[in-house]
Structure 1
């Protein structure tokens, strides 16, 4: 593996790059993966298309928010532990701060957006995901077998829309890769330098399991609202497969029956979460700030936010050292060829549902999506400019 010094950046530069993404990445986790691919594979060439797809596959297997975990891993590879924190902070804080402000503010946050702006952002997300599917398919689905695996994966996920179906499809695709693709020996896989030893990785995984098992026991023994808050949000972040919208019903089951947050407040926060960029897991910040008991406000929001994302850090720090070694195996490479094709299939399925079905309702929406796609793929405009323009153009039918 090349020395990590050859690939290092300062944590501050990592923070600024992810801050721009955190301010402009609308469209949910699948769209975020498209933005990340454009920023780090195409523009900055931090890693290859294959390495990116393998990293996405790993984060899809792990519980938690896949797009945030990809960002944490990228920051870790560039600037160590501090880079991982910087990447997470840049991508997460803009939406978290906006949602906490909404929770403690006097006016309804959603009213700040002009009519149609949010819908315009959803339409742009169609173009972002379509660009990602096209680019990844050209690289990772060459040949009839890989193309067939991609289409089968997309079909299965569309017919069985669940997080477990996604995990099952990737496992099956990996097994198919072992059977169908001849292992090819490569001197070295595409570099994704991780400066964490296997021993340290094992310790991080042990800490993850210890907190997952220990926090509920401790919360049952000690009647403390802060501890109960940490336990509820850490458990949610540890057990959610699929990320994004999957976390919302689980959070509702934690905070509404216990009367920490009323159902009306929960639904208002859900609506506001759709209007901000960045990861949907920042909904936790809104809920923490809206608690009917202490801690609430800024402190409650910060505690809930850190608790729900803590498992992501522990899992990435624990899994990547083993992944970096495992991915060198020729048999692993054969399995990954199948998994990579399935990942493109998952993106293709997501392009239709929920991205297309929640955004394209009429001819104007289709025209705006095609315009955004041309702007990204032909005119090579920066994604942030396309996002802002899409939001503005989305307001035109309502004028």
Structure 2
């Protein structure tokens, strides 16, 4: 239980302060678990990120879940999920009533400041990972190639191709050092529980639509919609929103209510997939039941696949050929994150010279003064709100 509460408290703080979407979350996680706590090195962390990029579902939440599993088993994974997700669920349901209050200049300034700090945090993470994972000419070329590919071919296809080509180039041109013994706390042996998780993923994918049709129950219909969204959509939270809109509007709620919840989600910390809890609450007569369905069904498929695949992925670290490929994959992850930093994070957040100045100041504070990310987030939000009050935004 000690591990549960430790992980829950750590991820609760992250769930309250991790603004900026899935890519920004990876920056927050790296700051917390690589830089600050040193539970992982950059290579171990990049391995987990690469695995979760391969799998469908909410990549940042899957990375958090995997970190919890590696530190505390399945109980640790559940603690990480609850801590990271509960704040956004609770805030989202309360936030809907306050949406009109945040339509003015003050609210827009607050949100703008938070987005600018997300730019700074992700940029800091990319720099730190590049220094350790793309620190040779060959690795830098792989990272640059991944960056170009992801910029030219946006979305899931570009990301997967970048990682696959990074692995191929790593095998062909990189040299891997001898394998090091892995921390027992982070190692996970493949067992029946992992095989069961993978089998459960496919069983639920088939069984839920059959239950929805045969029972004609709203609860099963919602569970089917959210589970399929989590199981079949690659690319993270923003990609899942059009699918949810097509499934939920107008059968379960009208367009205005959907867009109101969507707008609230953009301003919240934590995973965008928490939006499903709002939709569930609005779509069923018993809101608490809808919240539980939305908050679990959309996350479960990604977690089942992550838990099942994690020990297989870890086992590859001891194979010399696979290690060379993983070095290339790690370098490609740097390029992938750099591409996401440029588009959509920086392109959407940096719209005028003042934005660039604030983001640069935030980056410098992280780099030189070593502020914790949550403190920078609070300062950024306050700065945006203040600038809105004095007419700069």
Q: What TM-score do you get using the length of structure 1 for normalisation?
A: 0.93
Q: Show CA shifts across 1:120-174 (max 9, x none).
A: 0000111001100100000000211111111111111111112121112111111
CA contact (8 A) 1:158 1:349 kept: yes
2:340 is aligned with 1:350? yes
Higher helix share: 2
CA contact (8 A) 1:100 1:301 kept: no
Q: 1:107 to 1:164 in 2, by over 3 A?
A: closer
2:331 is aligned with 1:341? yes
* Pairing partner for 1:43 from 17, 36, 52: 36
Q: 1:346 to 1:262 in 2, by over 3 A?
A: same
Distance 1:198 1:326 in 2: 16
Distance 2:356 2:237 in 1: 25
2:135 is aligned with 1:142? yes
* Pairing partner for 2:256 from 264, 269, 272: 264
CA contact (8 A) 1:183 1:330 kept: yes
Q: Alpha-carbon deviation of 1:299?
A: 2.1
* Pairing partner for 2:231 from 224, 228, 238: 238
Give the ranges of 4+ consecutive aligned residues of structure 1 lying more than 6 Å apart after TM superposition: none
Distance 1:24 1:194 in 2: 29
In the alignment, which residue of structure 1 is the partner of 2:317? 327
* Pairing partner for 2:206 from 189, 206, 213: 213
Root mean square deviation, CA, Å: 1.8
Q: 1:198 to 1:322 in 2, by over 3 A?
A: farther
| Helix, strand or coil at the partner of 1:358 | helix
* Pairing partner for 1:281 from 249, 253, 273: 273
In the alignment, which residue of structure 2 is the partner of 1:120? 113
Q: 1:183 to 1:49 in 2, by over 3 A?
A: closer
Q: What residue ranges of structure 2 are gaps of 5+ in the alignment? A: none
Distance 2:100 2:74 in 1: 37
| Helix, strand or coil at the partner of 2:318 | coil
CA contact (8 A) 2:167 2:326 kept: yes
In the alignment, which residue of structure 2 is the partner of 1:58? 51
Q: 1:109 to 1:67 in 2, by over 3 A?
A: farther
Q: What residue ranges of structure 1 are gaps of 5+ in the alignment? A: 1-7
Q: Show CA shifts across 1:207-258 (max 9, x none).
A: 111111221122222211111110110110011111121111111111114x
2:141 is aligned with 1:151? no
Written as runs of structure 1 = structure 2, the 5 A alignment for 1:1-399 is 10-103=3-96, 105=97, 108=100, 110-111=102-103, 114-189=107-182, 193-257=186-250, 259-291=251-283, 293-295=284-286, 297-399=287-389
Q: What TM-score do you get using the length of structure 2 for normalisation?
A: 0.94
